[in-house]
Amino acid sequence: MKALTELFDRIVQRVNINLRELAFDVRPFVKDLVPFNQLVKFYAFYGITPHHPLDFQFRHSNLAGSYFLGKCRTTNSILYKSDIRGDELKKKGDIFQYPGFEIPVSKDEGIRIEDSFLIKTLVHNYSHDPETLEKFFITNTVSTHYANIHGSPTDGSYLGPFSTVDLTTMNDCVIGAFSYVQASEISHLNIEPGTVWVRSPNNFNFLYRYPLDKLSHYIHFAAGAPPQGLLMDFVEDRKEAFQRVFEKVNIEQVSVPKSASLDRFAVLKPKTHISDNVLVAQRAFLQNAWMGKGANAQENCYIINARLEGFNVTAHGAKIIEADLGQNVFVGFNSFLRGRPDCRLTIGKDSIIMPHTIIDIKEPLKIPPDHLVWGLVTCAADLETHSISLKALSKINDAFSLGSMFFEGSGNSFVTAFRDRIHHILEANGALYDGMKNKGHAQKNQNISFNTIQPYPEGELKGVYPTIIIRP
């Protein structure tokens, strides 16, 4: 296992060099976080479809339990149960739209991961950065449990557990646990845990920070110990359900409508209903869930004892328990929405639940239609400072604060940008498929062929995968 140890040391050193100006040492956070013997227990796997380029290269890396789709290259990296989804990568000949520019894509885009350690991290979407159209890169980066790197080229950074960097180019930054950042381009920043920051330069700026004493109940991560809190407990309590789908190469599939897609690495428990155009991604968990037409459950989502009426977006890592959602409700990344059997959560149609929102109630709660909700909500009184109607938000054109949330700029631009993105997600996922037009992931990902690869089983190279190049 000598080569694996040397690879780990190489990654840590390179990340620390990039973060030296922030005086941040990643080693205490990742040392022993994943014992090396875990890195030889699991096969890696990749998907083949006629809809995605077949171009994989793996060099001097560990890929334990990780999944790859699309054009992906991994060099000098350790990936542990991460999902690298390249099903929305740009293709040669596409025209990339950027304010004031229309830039042709000269070759198929690929995801390139180098000198990085990604632990149970989701990587998805194409790079939004006009300077790197053909390469979505993740270099010199450490990312911990259930973080999301979504369309965000990343160099020399650290992501804490349950954090998300979304459509943001990030250089030499530290992103704290449960923080969400969508801010175009950032460098040399240390983002505190529990920060929710959405910025479009010259358009709008949304900022909210969780009170750390309350956030620590849900997620807390300190050097020398694994991530702790209710969010980790929730996931750990259900991880055995995934063992069956990963311990067999082939597994029987549940019948779903012809226009829907249920990934064979998802968990589907009894009394779950799948409607037309539904997408259920790998590592999703559904139990007694009603999925209306066009609804989706993305990676690491949990939908339990809940009803989604249709065209619902449940973004990566979101959890919905004992809840009823109207049509067109968006639930953002890593949100945690928990009602109780005797006090359900109801969310009205067309509402937007911001990424990294926690709604954890012990009394019935109804969120009206067309509302934006953020932060920590435990009762109806909290909505007074943690929600606003989309109509009222659209009228804001200057600085505005509500509770611990600060907003400045054009509320109408903020609402429009969110609605446009929701429409894009629904379209890309195949929710709008009419039998002829608007095919998306729900239709294109129905017959993925999965192939497995494994590392050296013993010796100095134990845990390291041989160089593997896979092409048509």
> Where is 172: in which H helix or E strand?
none
Residue spans per domain, the chain: 2-236+448-470, 239-381+417-444
The DSSP code sequence of 321-333 is EEEEE-TT-EE-T
Q: What are phi and psi of 444, to 5 degrees?
A: -80, -20
Predicted TM-score (pTM) of the model is 0.97
Torsion of CA 39, 63, 443, 255, to 10 degrees: -20
The answer to whether the beta carbons of residues 153 and 170 sit under 8 Å apart is yes
How many angstroms separate the CA atoms of 166 and 149, rounded?
6
- The distance of Cα 403 from the centroid of its chain, to the nearest Å, equals 27
**Angle (nearest 5°) at CA 180 between 232 and 356:** 55
Three-state DSSP at 192 gives coil
To the question of domain 2-236+448-470 being in CATH 2.60.120.10, the answer is: no
The answer to whether the beta carbons of residues 20 and 429 sit under 8 Å apart is no
Please tell me if the domain spanning 2-236+448-470 has the same topology as the one spanning 239-381+417-444: yes
Going by C-beta distance under 8 Å and a sequence separation of 6 or more, which residues neighbour residue 395? 411, 412
Task: With a cut of 70, list the residues of the chain below it in pLDDT.
Answer: 248-253
pLDDT score recorded for residue 98? 86
R_g of the chain computed on alpha carbons: 21
pLDDT score recorded for residue 252? 61
**CA atoms within 13 A of residue 336's CA, in its CB half-sphere:** 20
The answer to whether the beta carbons of residues 325 and 297 sit under 8 Å apart is no
Torsion of CA 57, 58, 60, 63, to 10 degrees: 160
Homologous superfamily, domain 239-381+417-444: Hexapeptide repeat proteins (2.160.10.10)
Report the Cα–Cα distance between both ends of the chain, in Å, rounded: 32
